Structures are given as C-alpha cells and as structure tokens.
C-alpha cells in the first residue's frame, strides 16, 4: 500500500507519495492531464536540468543564491543530466498552463533531491524551495522555450548524422551503378535514357540539400529568452543574470547561445519552431517522394517494372503465398506522413498565441520532438534495411532501354521532329522497338547508331 506525505500549495493540501521526489503541483498535473499517456521527452528533461544548473550558478554569482543552495541545486541537476531520477518526471507531455507543470515538476524534483543531499525530509523545502530557489529569476515562460530549443539541438545532432549516412549510402549506390542505363520516365511514361548512378545521386543530392536547410533553421535555436521571466520585462531578475545564464548554458552543453535582443518578442513569438518544423516537413516530403520512386522501380517482380531488387524483410501477405512487399519503404512513407501532419499542429500552435505569451508550447514540442525522432529513425531504418542491400536488375533495365522509344528524342535533332514522330507511330503500331524501325527502314545502320548513341545500346 502506498504511503503518502502531505504537501501544500496555493490551492491547498495535496497527498504526495511518501518517497517521491516530485511534489504537489506534479501530482495535480497527474490528476488533470490525461491526454497522450506519454511523459515529457527524456531529452527535454535533460535540457531543463541544464537550464536549472546554469540558472543556479548565475543566481549565485549575482548574489541571489547562497553558495550552499546553488551547489546543491547544481549537484541534483547533474544527476538528472546523467540520466538519474527520470521516473520522477510524471506529467503528460501535452498539458495546459504553457508547461508550468513541466517546469514545476523539475523544480520540485531538484528541491527534494537537494533535501536528500542535505539530510532533510522530503516535501519540507527547508533549505531549497522549488519556487524561491530552484526557479529563482525564472518563469515557465523563459524556461520552457529555452529547454525546448536545447532539446531540438540535442535531437537534431542524431538526425543530421542519420541523414548524412543515408546520403553516403545512396552515393555508394550511385558509384556502383554509375554506368548502368535505364529508361527515364516523365508523367509515368517512357522519356529518355538516364543512368541509375544519376538517379541515386539525385536522391543523395536532395538529402544533402535538406541537411543544409535544417541546419540553417536550427540557427534560430541558439537565441534564448532566459531572463525574460513572465512577459519579457525581466521582472524579478538581477543585472548580469541573463548574460551569465546564456554563458553557462553554452559551457555546459557545447552549443553557442545568445540572449534575445528583444525579450518581449522572444517570449511571445515562437515562429522559430515553425521554421524548424517547416524544414523537417520539406525533408519528409522529399524522403517520401524518393520512397515512391523506389517502390515503383521495385514493382513486380514479374509484371511490374522490376528494375531494382530491394531486400526481402517480411512475408508480404497472410493469404498470397510467396508475396513480399516493400515494407521498409512503406514504413518510411508513413513516418513522413506523420511528420507532415505534425507540422500543421505546430503551425496552429504558433498561430494560436495571444497577447504576451503563447501557451501552446507543450503540444508544439511534443510534435516537434516526435518529428525529429521519427525522421532520425526512418533514415536509419531505410538505410540499413532498404538501401544498403538494394541491387539493380541490369538485364531487365537494358531490355527496357532496347524496347523503348527513348532513342527517338536523341535522333530528333538529326532527322527532324516530324520524321521521328512518324517513325515512332509506326513502331508503336507494329509493336516493334524504335531502333529496329530505324535500321529496317535504312535510315541509320546499327553500327552508326551504336557509335552516335552508345548509351542506348547498353551492355548491362
């Protein structure tokens, strides 16, 4: 049977599990917010601990905290940064209050862990109080967006790395098949000749462009509003505090940070997060589009294109024996769909802000963190289970080249558009390769064609 201690807040007494490091406001949030069934992202917890550690030191240096209090808060924060006490962060990720319950959950855990380190009873807050000390010179309205920005930077490191590795894998395929020709298609109709190397390289180029876009958007995450407190007026802060917070947060995390020049703007407007989400959405759209192409090229194996063979990972049907589906490319599509949907939520959350604050950061961060994680996992899954084992069916591709009318475009400047159009119609009517019509009609010999247009006579 659970034992409880009694704590009080401005609304009255609250029963808190006896050994819990969290306190009254966390318990209230547990009772009030049952939305996702998921707690705050662990990286956000770590980021908030960094923020509290930097704030404690800054407050000590400007004379707002004693050395004893600052040190014990920092020690408790270091434990959370190291991955300890994560079970104490128990609020739902989506909640009302602009993230106040998330902030207070952190304040309470740090205060109670400090109490343990000082051999004081939990929940009494004799030396370290959640509001008076841990949250000194702070508000949810500067702590939560700053923690969110740091979390995005942490999570994006893995995303950029996963994107880079996927691009490297595609570049390897481009080199492996650089001289293998295929029929290019526009409007899903036969067009002109292209190489598999060019196709795979185009995908890698696209990914590297999206890396640059995301990195550019992430630059806005380095400007923070710590010291703004409630609405950006710096109420309840001491001169020198905000500069020190940015300085120490940078030292602790390895990321550069600067304080926003306009703290009112930095507190009420969260468009920078929309910018990051937009870059993620752009990548998701491109990645999904690439998977569409891969699924089409792998269609078959007998009556589809069958230009590539992708790794067989799972039986494809509960009723059709032997069927194998492109599941890795399909799951990547679905991850991308989710990210694109998340972007709409993030956009609406940003738009819905009112007056001096946007209170919808919890849902914004829940979706934004999820988008970064989904794309990171999708890139890794796609690379390991889809791209690295992909092979080109060179014989099938060369047969398509031979049977196609792609050569028509190449000979058009020499023979004239109208003449070639007539020959193309003849080839289609007679169901013959275009090259055979050219040769049989005595227009060009096979030797002349091979010399002039070697790519259209593949040795695949």
Catalytic residues, by residue number, are 317
* 283, 289, 292, 296: CA torsion to nearest 10: -130
Q: Are 150 and 117 in contact (CB under 8 A)?
A: no
Q: How many residues does the chain have?
A: 460
DSSP letter string over 15-65? Answer: EEETT-SS-HHHHHHHHH--SSS-B--HHHHHHHHHHHHHHHHHHHHTTSS
Q: Locate all alpha helices (DSSP H) within 254-353, ordered by sequence.
A: 263-268, 271-297, 327-351
Rounded CA separation 151/100 (Å):
17
* Packing angle of the helix pair 327-351, 361-382 (nearest 10 deg): 160
State yes or no: cis peptide before 240, omega within 30 of 0: no
Q: H-helix or E-strand containing 368?
A: helix 361-382
Q: For 192, phi and psi rounded to 5 degrees?
A: -130, 175
State how far the Cα of 139 lies from the Cα of 344, in Å rounded to an integer: 28
Whether 413 and 337 have beta carbons less than 8 Å apart is answered as no
Nearest to 410 by CA among 369, 451, 375, 374: 451
- Measured between alpha carbons, how far is 93 from 102 in angstroms, rounded to an integer? 8
Calculate ∠ Cα 226-228-232, nearest 5°.
150
Terminal-to-terminal C-alpha distance of the chain: 73
Written as six digits, the tokens of 232 are 């950006």
């Amino acid at each position: 049977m659970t034992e409880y201690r009694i704590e009080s807040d401005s609304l009255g007494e609250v029963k808190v599990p006896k050994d819990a490091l969290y306190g009254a406001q966390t318990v209230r949030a547990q009772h009030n917010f049952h939305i996702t069934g998921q707690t705050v992202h662990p990286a956000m917890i770590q980021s908030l601990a960094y923020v509290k550690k930097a704030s404690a030191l800054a407050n000590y240096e400007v004379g707002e905290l004693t050395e004893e209090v600052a040190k014990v808060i920092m020690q408790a924060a270091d434990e959370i940064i190291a991955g300890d006490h994560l079970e104490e962060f128990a609020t739902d990720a989506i909640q009302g209050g602009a993230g106040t319950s998330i902030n207070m959950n952190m304040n309470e855990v740090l205060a109670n862990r400090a109490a343990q380190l000082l051999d004081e009873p939990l929940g009494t807050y004799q030396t370290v109080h959640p509001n008076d000390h841990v949250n000194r010179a702070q508000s949810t309205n500067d702590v939560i967006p700053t923690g969110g920005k740091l979390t995005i930077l942490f999570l994006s490191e893995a995303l950029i790395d996963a994107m880079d590795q996927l691009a490297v894998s595609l570049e390897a395929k481009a080199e492996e098949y650089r001289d293998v020709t295929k029929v290019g298609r526009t409007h899903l109709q036969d067009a002109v000749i292209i190489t598999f190397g060019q196709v795979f390289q185009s995908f890698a180029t696209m990914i590297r462009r999206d890396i640059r876009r995301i990195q550019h958007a992430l630059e806005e995450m380095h400007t923070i509003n710590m010291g703004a407190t409630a609405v950006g007026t710096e109420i309840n802060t001491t001169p020198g505090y905000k500069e020190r917070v940015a300085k120490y947060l940078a030292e602790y995390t390895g990321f550069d940070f600067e304080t926003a020049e306009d703290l009112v703007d930095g507190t009420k407007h969260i468009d920078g997060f929309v910018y990051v989400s937009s870059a993620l959405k752009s990548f998701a759209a491109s990645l999904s589009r690439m998977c569409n192409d891969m699924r089409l090229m792998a269609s078959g194996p007998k009556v589809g294109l069958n230009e590539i063979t992708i790794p067989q990972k799972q039986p494809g049907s509960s009723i059709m024996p032997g069927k194998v589906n492109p599941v890795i490319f399909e799951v990547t599509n679905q991850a991308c769909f989710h990210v694109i949907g998340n972007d709409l939520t993030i956009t609406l959350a940003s738009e819905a802000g009112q007056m001096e604050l946007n209170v919808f950061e919890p849902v914004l961060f829940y979706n934004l963190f999820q988008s970064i994680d989904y794309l990171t996992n999708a890139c890794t899954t796609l690379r390991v289970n889809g791209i690295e084992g992909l092979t080109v069916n060179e014989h099938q591709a060369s047969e398509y080249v031979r049977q196609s009318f792609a050569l028509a475009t190449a000979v058009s400047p020499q023979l004239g558009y109208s003449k070639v159009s007539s020959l193309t119609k003849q080839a289609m009517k007679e169901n013959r390769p275009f090259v055979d019509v050219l040769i049989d009609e005595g227009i060009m010999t096979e030797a002349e064609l091979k010399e002039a247009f070697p790519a259209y006579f593949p040795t695949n």
